[in-house]
C-alpha cells in the first residue's frame, strides 16, 4: 500500500486545480465565441430605384454583397418618400403608426413630437442596450438639424458616434452634426465630398472600436438624390446613357388618378433632355457608393470581422424618369417608386441566393434585432424578421400574403408662381410645369404576390378614385382594370385595406388569407 505524503497530496491538488481551471477557461472561451453577437451594417441610399436600372452601376456591390449572399427580388418600401420611409426603417412601423406624413416639420419629419414619441423606441436604442457600439453617418431625416427640430445639438438616443447631415441630401457645402456639434463643410473634394466622408469616418470608427463588443453602423450617402453631383473622376462616365424607353415611358396616364392625367403627352423635348441628364448623373453619383462598399468590405476583412458581419444594402424608395410622362421624382404608387433594391450577406446566408419572398423596409429593424438576439415579442413594431427567409438554418418563419403601401400627398396652399394656371394644392411642379404631388395625392394600396400578382389602391379625394392592376398580365401597370374585375375581388381587397390601415404591431403580421 502506497503512502502519500502531505506535500505530495498538496501538489496533486494543485495539478488537479490547475487542470480544472484550464478546462473551465477553455470552455468559457469557446462558449463566449459561440454566443458572440454578429456585427451589422446597414447601407441606405437615397432615391435609388431597382426597376429603372438603378443597380446597373453597382458592379462591386452586386459582386461583394449580392453574389456573396442574397438578393431579394420583391423588396418594397411602405411609402415612396424620404422622411416617412426612413422613419419606417428606424421604427419598424407603417406611416399610420409613426405618423410621419411627408418631408416637412408640419408633416412630423424630425419634429419634437417625433423625437419624444418615436426616437426612444427606434431599433438602434435596443442595440445600444445590448452594448453594441453604434455609428451613424450621412443623411438622417429631411428636417434634422433645423431650428424647429432642435438644431444640431439634438443627437437621437442609441448612437455612440453621430455624424448626421443637416437637412436634405447634398454632396458639398453642407453642415453636419458631429456628435451634437456643428461642423461646416465646403466644396473641396478630398475633405468634403459627403459619400467619401461617410466612408472615411466609418473606417475610423472600425479602427477605434473595442473588439470585445459587436458594432452596428448605418451609412446613408446622399446618392443618387439630386443635385446629382458626382465625384470629379466620375463626371464623364455613362456619357451615352439615356433613361430606358420601354414599359410606361412617355405613356399617357389614361385611367389613372387625375395627377397622372395632367402631364403633357408626349413629353416636350426639354423634359426628355432634363430626365436623361438626371438619369445619367444619378448613375455617376452611385459609383462612389460602389467604391464605399468595396472599401468597407476590405476593411472588415483586414480586421477579421467580415465573416461575422451582416451587411444590408438598400434604398429608402424607388424613382422614375419619364414613366407616364412624369419627368423625375417618386411619391407615386407604381412599381418604379415602391420597389427597392435589397442585398444582404452575413453568417448563415448561402451565396448567390435570390429570394421571391415579399419583404418590406419596416422589416429591416425586426431583422436586425433578430440577428442581435432580441426577443421580438417584446418589441412593438409592425414589421417581421426576414432572417428565416435568408438563413433558414437559424430560424423558422412565415411569409406575408399581402401588405400595405400608403402615402399622404403634399401641396402648397398658394399657387406656384411659375405655373399659375394649375392653381393651389400642388407641389413639385418641375420641369415644364408637370406637378408630381398634390394634397389629394393621398392613397393606400394593398399589394399581393402570393396566388395573384395584384395591386388595389384607394385615393382619399372627392372622387374616391380606385386603381387596380394585374401585374402578371400588365407588369407596367398600363391599364386600370377596376371596371373589369370581379366585384367580389374588389370587396376582398377593400376589406384587406381597411384591416391594414388600422393594424398595429402583431395585427399587421397576423393578417392571413383565410381571414377574408
SS3 string, 212-275, reads CCCEEEEEECCCCCCCCCCCHHHCCCCCCCCCCCCCCECCCCCCCCHHHHCCCCCCCHHHHHHH
CA gap 282, 256 in Å, rounded: 28
CA separation for the pair 472, 89 (Å, rounded): 29
Q: Is 82 a catalytic residue?
A: yes
Residues in the chain: 516
**416 to each of 49, 167, 408, 429, 482, how far by Cα in Å?**
28, 23, 20, 8, 33
Q: In 10 A of CB 284, how many CB atoms?
A: 23
Q: Strand locations in 2-158, DSSP E?
A: 39-45, 70-72, 75-76, 133-139
Which position among 19, 31, 82, 457 bears the catalytic label? 82
Helix (H) or strand (E) holding 354: strand 353-355
Asked if 222 contacts 195 with a C-beta cutoff of 8 angstroms, the reply is: yes
Q: What separation in angstroms does the CA of 334 have from each of 317, 325, 445?
A: 11, 13, 10
The Cα-based distances of 396 to 70, 310, 374, 399, 435 in angstroms read 17, 19, 16, 10, 46
Buried b (16+ CB within 10 A) or exposed e, 70-97: bbbeebbbbbbbbbbbbbbbbbbbbbbb
Residues 225 and 46: beta-carbon distance below 8 Å: yes
| Interstrand relation of 353-355 and 359-360 (parallel, antiparallel or unpaired) | unpaired
Q: Which residues contact 116 (CB under 8 A, 6 or more apart)?
A: none
* H or E segment and range at residue 297: helix 269-302
d(Cα 229, Cα 248) in Å, to the nearest integer?
A: 27
Q: Which residue has the cell 443635385?
A: 227
Residue linked to cell 432572417: 387
DSSP codes, 55-100: TTT-HHHIIIIITTSEEESSEE-SSSSHHHHHHHHHH---HHHH--
**Residues with a known catalytic role:** 82
Amino acid at each position: 500500500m502506497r503512502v502519500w505524503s502531505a506535500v505530495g497530496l498538496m501538489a496533486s491538488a494543485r495539478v488537479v486545480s490547475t487542470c480544472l481551471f484550464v478546462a473551465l477557461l477553455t470552455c468559457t472561451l469557446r462558449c463566449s465565441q459561440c454566443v458572440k453577437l454578429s456585427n451589422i451594417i446597414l447601407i441606405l441610399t437615397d432615391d435609388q430605384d431597382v426597376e429603372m436600372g438603378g443597380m446597373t452601376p453597382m458592379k462591386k456591390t452586386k459582386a461583394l454583397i449580392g453574389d456573396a449572399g442574397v438578393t431579394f427580388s420583391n423588396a418594397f418600401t411602405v411609402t415612396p418618400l424620404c422622411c416617412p420611409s426612413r422613419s419606417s426603417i428606424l421604427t419598424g412601423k407603417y406611416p399610420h403608426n409613426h405618423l410621419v406624413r411627408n418631408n416637412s416639420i408640419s408633416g412630423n419629419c424630425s419634429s419634437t413630437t417625433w423625437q419624444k414619441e418615436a426616437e426612444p423606441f427606434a431599433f438602434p436604442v435596443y442595440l445600444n442596450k445590448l452594448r453594441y457600439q453604434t455609428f451613424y453617418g450621412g443623411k438622417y431625416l429631411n428636417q434634422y438639424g433645423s431650428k424647429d427640430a432642435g438644431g444640431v445639438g439634438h443627437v437621437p438616443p442609441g448612437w455612440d458616434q453621430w455624424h448626421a447631415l443637416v437637412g436634405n441630401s447634398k454632396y458639398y457645402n453642407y453642415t453636419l452634426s458631429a456628435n451634437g456639434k456643428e461642423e461646416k463643410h465646403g466644396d473641396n473634394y478630398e475633405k468634403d465630398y459627403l459619400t467619401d466622408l461617410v466612408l472615411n469616418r466609418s473606417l475610423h470608427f472600425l479602427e477605434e472600436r473595442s473588439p470585445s463588443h459587436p458594432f452596428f453602423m448605418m451609412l446613408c450617402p446622399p446618392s443618387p438624390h439630386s443635385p446629382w453631383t458626382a465625384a470629379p473622376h466620375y463626371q464623364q462616365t455613362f456619357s451615352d446613357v439615356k433613361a430606358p424607353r420601354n414599359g410606361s415611358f412617355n405613356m399617357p396616364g389614361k385611367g389613372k388618378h387625375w395627377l397622372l392625367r395632367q402631364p403633357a403627352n408626349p413629353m416636350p423635348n426639354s423634359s426628355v433632355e432634363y430626365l436623361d441628364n438626371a438619369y445619367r448623373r444619378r448613375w455617376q453619383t452611385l459609383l462612389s457608393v460602389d467604391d464605399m462598399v468595396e472599401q468597407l468590405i476590405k476593411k472588415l476583412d483586414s480586421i477579421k470581422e467580415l465573416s461575422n458581419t451582416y451587411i444590408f444594402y438598400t434604398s429608402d424608395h424607388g424613382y422614375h424618369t419619364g414613366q407616364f410622362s412624369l419627368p423625375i421624382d417618386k411619391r407615386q404608387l407604381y412599381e418604379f417608386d415602391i420597389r427597392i433594391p435589397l442585398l444582404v450577406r452575413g453568417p448563415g446566408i448561402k451565396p448567390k441566393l435570390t429570394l421571391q419572398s415579399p419583404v418590406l423596409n419596416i422589416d429591416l429593424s425586426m431583422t436586425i434585432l433578430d440577428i442581435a438576439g432580441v426577443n421580438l415579442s417584446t418589441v412593438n413594431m409592425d414589421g417581421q424578421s426576414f432572417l428565416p427567409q435568408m438563413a433558414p438554418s437559424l430560424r423558422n418563419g412565415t411569409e406575408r400574403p399581402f401588405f400595405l403601401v400608403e402615402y399622404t400627398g403634399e401641396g402648397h396652399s398658394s399657387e406656384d408662381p411659375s405655373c399659375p394656371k394649375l392653381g393651389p394644392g400642388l407641389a413639385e411642379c418641375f420641369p415644364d410645369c408637370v406637378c408630381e404631388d398634390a394634397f389629394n395625392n393621398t392613397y393606400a394600396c394593398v399589394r399581393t404576390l402570393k396566388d395573384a400578382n395584384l395591386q388595389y389602391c384607394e385615393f382619399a379625394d372627392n372622387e374616391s378614385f380606385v386603381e387596380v392592376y394585374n401585374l402578371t398580365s400588365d407588369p407596367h401597370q398600363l391599364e386600370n382594370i377596376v371596371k373589369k374585375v370581379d366585384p367580389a375581388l374588389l370587396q376582398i381587397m377593400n376589406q384587406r385595406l381597411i384591416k391594414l390601415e388600422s393594424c398595429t404591431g402583431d395585427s399587421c403580421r397576423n393578417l392571413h388569407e383565410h381571414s377574408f
